Structure 1
Amino acid sequence: MSCSWCKISPVIPIFVFYLLVSSSVSPAYSLETGNQHATSTNQTLRPEEELHKLKMIRAHLNKLNKPASPDGDIIDCVESHLQPAFDHPKLKGKRPLDPPARPSGHNPTGMVTEDFQLWSMSGESCPEGTVPIRRTTQEDMLRASSFRRFGRKLRRHVRRDTNSNGHEHAVGYVTGDQYYGAKASINVWAPKVDNQYEFSLSQMWVISGSFGDDLNTIEAGWQVSPELYGDNYPRFFTYWTSDAYQATGCYNLLCSGFVQTNNRIAIGAAISPTSSYSGGQFDISLLVWKDPKHGNWWLEFGSGVLVGYWPSFLFTHLRDHASMVQFGGEIVNSRTNGHTSTQMGSGHFAGEGFGKASYFRNLQVVDWDNNLIPLSNLRVLADHPNCYDIQGGINRVWGNYFYYGGPGRNVRCP
């Protein structure tokens, strides 16, 4: 159902609104407490008027600022054509595109079988014509290592024979062909992250370029990132870059890039439930594919639920096709002495298998003719197998799959 608190109006951050009203509010009373303070000799106190004004301000703020979800997020319902993507000069004055033809061999139901995000657990959603956007706060920005890098990844090398900035991986990948999309199901965990400046994620990468400064990627999956979100919840995320993570791209909707079309899924919001060790397993299915007609890259969640798309003009090489697809886990190790204890996936090695290790299953790619096909040349590789490892396989039920992950620091990874 539509959410009862979603009055569609421009969102005014609380600190901006405070500046707008503070000049008309006597300094004799605190906006937070209503306590009386010392005033200048030429100021006349009118407690009843001030208290009335304070009540009016608080009532108005309650209309502007939506209630927080169970994970502490505030979700704003923003008119679709006013979302950050439409700040881009090439999209100004335009509207989101209609859905494209899906890849052949993909038979979606168009239904989300259950709510998978904490903010929508009570059945709330945004009205038609709007999209749910996780509100970015001042605290979010202050946690970032630098204002200019807020919402961006540090640069990482995608080649499997090099490492950069402490990024470590356990991935399955295909290369050597032309790829127009990829699909996988990933089980979701809540791995421990050692400190604010590290993260743990599991995702798909759709990649093109020379693996130098012109690297193009499209990314989607789940991540735990205390620096970006201020907590340790696993969160649904997207990412893109067209210059190897240097000046372009961002997470989620933190820059003009990804165009969201869905009014039920909040990118960057916490996922629930999660998998448990020796217990229930919860996975999410993701499909990224290139629209053969317009060339945009679309993202689908679950059984046919479209989330939105990356416009083709954001990219150079990905305007044509991808040359590599990766699936797997990534962490950041910020320690200079010894190894971090940040976990990847479930925090357990691949050899523990189902119910204990993390997995990707039903790995597929989209070919030049918009057909969804099984992988024929999946390779698996772990940068630091004593810390995080990976084991691949294939069977009739799961198709191409692999288990991956690990605890980080241990007796074999000191």
Structure 2
Amino acid sequence: MFNFEAHSKKDRKPITQLWQLNGECPDATIPIRRTKREDSMRKNTIKKYGTKKFNIIPYPSLPDIKFANQVGLEHVIAFVEDKFYGAKGTINVWKPQIQIQDECSLSGIWLLGGSDTGLNSIQAGWMVYPKLFGDNNTRFFIYWTRDGYNSTGCYNLQCSGFVQVTKQMALGAAIKPISIYHGSQSDFTLTVWKDERQKVWWLRFQDTIIGYWPTSIFTYLGDRASVVEWGGLVTNTNLNGQHTTTQMGSGHFAEEWFRGASYFRNLEIIEQTSNIRSANGLGNVVDKPKCYNLKFGNSEDWGNFFYYGGPGKNPNCP
């Protein structure tokens, strides 16, 4: 049975970033994560620094399914397909353990259009990626591409494209608090929507508008999205034929429910009329169910939701 326990107010703690302990930015400026010497050194080991080292090729309706599992990518994703002009969801925040520096664990929302090398994608959420950021902190991130993650797009503000308008949040900065296993839970709500008049895709974190992607940087997403995804992704190096212990979400399977597993709740999509409705008819993709899994649910407080995650290597996932 699903645990429909509501996310109580006493559990809720506002999401902050560590840099905010030092104050705030002056008006007419934005916070930018400082590039340290170690970051510059990593430029030599990360191809096209600031862009994806790995290709995240989503599943639904794409003609070339052969892309789905390349480079050790493992997805746990809920999705819907249609014509969309935005999406919304509340994401549970954790700090998954990463076995190898090259590996990554992330949770987020994707808006997609096109396919194969012409795939357009907008993504936002949280991630732990030691090779890119130099540590194991959980960080808020965004990403975009218009050619299937080949040569366009980047993380955060590492290239032109996304325009930040707030001084309240820094892209790529560590966030807190982190959810506690069997303790207090932390989550945040993301909304991405298209402004037809201004011809941009806006991004909102909780009640703060972070910035926008101009539709001019896209091809298919210049019009609309055809797929929305919510979920998690890890990279698995597969050492000596063994799965690594890199975790997804909380590092625990969906059957551990609230306070144990990770979750996405109140999954919604935005129609051309700006009408927001529940994301019904959800499909799912779970690459390695013995390593990471997903369980759907629905309740009055959480709408359509799912629990997900897992530990990676375990007796059933050698």
In structure 2, the residue matched to 1:143 is 42
Confirm or deny that 1:132 pairs with 2:35. Answer: no
Deviation (angstroms), 1:147: 5.1
Q: Following the alignment from structure 2 to structure 1, what is the Cα–Cα distance between the partners of residues 245 and 47? A: 28
Distance in 1 (CA, whole Å) between partners of 2:86 and 2:123 is 11
Q: 1:377 Cα deviation (Å)?
A: 1.1
1:289-342 per-residue CA deviation (whole Å, 9 max, x = no partner) reads: 00021221000011x210000111110000000000000000000124110110
Matching residue's letter, 1:219: Q
Q: Identify the residue that residue 314 of structure 1 maps to in structure 2.
A: 217
Does the CA-based 8 Å contact 2:46-2:132 persist in structure 1?
A: no
Distance 1:320 1:384 in 2: 34
User: Residue deviations 1:199-225, cap 9 Å, x none?
Assistant: 10000000000x210000000000001
2:315 matched to 1:411?
yes
Is this contact kept in 2: 1:144–1:227, CA < 8 A?
no
- Write the distance in 2 (CA, Å) between the matches of 1:369 and 1:306: 20
Identity of aligned residues (%): 48
Q: CA RMSD in A?
A: 1.3
Report the equivalent of 1:173. 79
- The separation in 1 between residues aligned to 2:43 and 2:296, in whole angstroms, is 36
Residue 79 of structure 1 corresponds to: none
The answer (yes or no) to whether the contact 2:78–2:285 under 8 Å persists in 1 is: yes
- Distance (whole Å) between structure 2 residues aligned to residue 289 and residue 115 of structure 1: 22
C-alpha separation between the residues in 2 aligned to 1:372 and 1:137? Answer: 41
SS in 2 for 1:213: helix
Letter in 2 for 1:412: N
- Aligned mates of 1:200, 1:266 — CA distance in 2: 20
Tell me how far 1:137 sits from its aligned partner: 2.5
User: Which of 103, 113, 117 pairs up with 2:17?
Assistant: 117
1:141 counterpart letter in structure 2: S
Q: Which residue of 2 aligns with 1:187?
A: 92
8 A Cα contact 2:59 2:285, kept in partner: no
Q: Does 1:323 align with 2:229?
A: no
**Counterpart-to-counterpart distance in 2, 1:164 and 1:149:** 19
Does the 8 Å CA contact 1:203/1:329 hold for their aligned counterparts? yes
Per-residue deviation, 1:156: 2.8
Q: Whole-Å Cα distance in 2 between the matches of residues 300 and 289 of structure 1?
A: 9
Per the alignment, residue 156 of structure 1 pairs with 56
Query: What's the offset of the Cα at 1:151?
Result: 1.1
Runs of 4+ in 1 over 6 A off after TM superposition: none
The residue number in structure 2 matching 1:205 is 110
1:25-64 deviation per Cα after TM superposition (whole angstroms, max 9, x unaligned): xxxxxxxxxxxxxxxxxxxxxxxxxxxxxxxxxxxxxxxx
Tell me how far 1:157 sits from its aligned partner: 2.1
Indicate the structure whose relative CO is greater, using CA pairs within 8 Å and at least 6 residues apart: 2
Instruction: State how many pairs are aligned.
Output: 298
Deviations 1:125-179 (A, max 9, x none): 101100000012331132357454211112232126531111111011001x100
Q: Which moved more, 1:362-371 or 1:154-163?
A: 154-163
TM-score if structure 1 supplies the norm length?
0.70
- Choose 1 or 2 for highest CA Rg: 1
SS of 2:80's equivalent in the other structure is strand
CA contact (8 A) 2:15 2:175 kept: no
Task: Identify the residue that residue 249 of structure 2 maps to in structure 1.
Answer: 345
1 CA distance for matches of 2:237 and 2:248? Answer: 14
Structure 1 residue 121 displacement after superposition: 2.8
Q: SS in structure 1 opposite 2:167?
A: coil
Select the residue among 197, 202, 212 that pairs with 1:298.
202
Partner of 1:365: 269
Contact 2:90 2:190 in 1 (8 A): yes
Unaligned runs of 5+ in 2: 1-12
Partner of 1:389: 293
Counterpart residue identity of residue 132, structure 2: L
Instruction: State the distance in 1 between where 2:176 and 2:148 align.
Output: 32
Q: Larger strand proportion, structure 1 or 2? A: 2
- Which residue among 109, 123, 132 is the counterpart of 1:219? 123
Aligned amino acid, residue 132 of structure 1: P
Alignment deviations for residues 98-125 of structure 1 (CA, whole Å, 9 cap, x no partner): xxxxxxxxxxxxxxx8451111135x11
- Once residues 163 and 223 of structure 2 are traced to their aligned partners in structure 1, the CA distance between those partners, rounded to angstroms, is 19
Say which is worse superposed, 320-329 or 380-389, in terms of deviation: 380-389
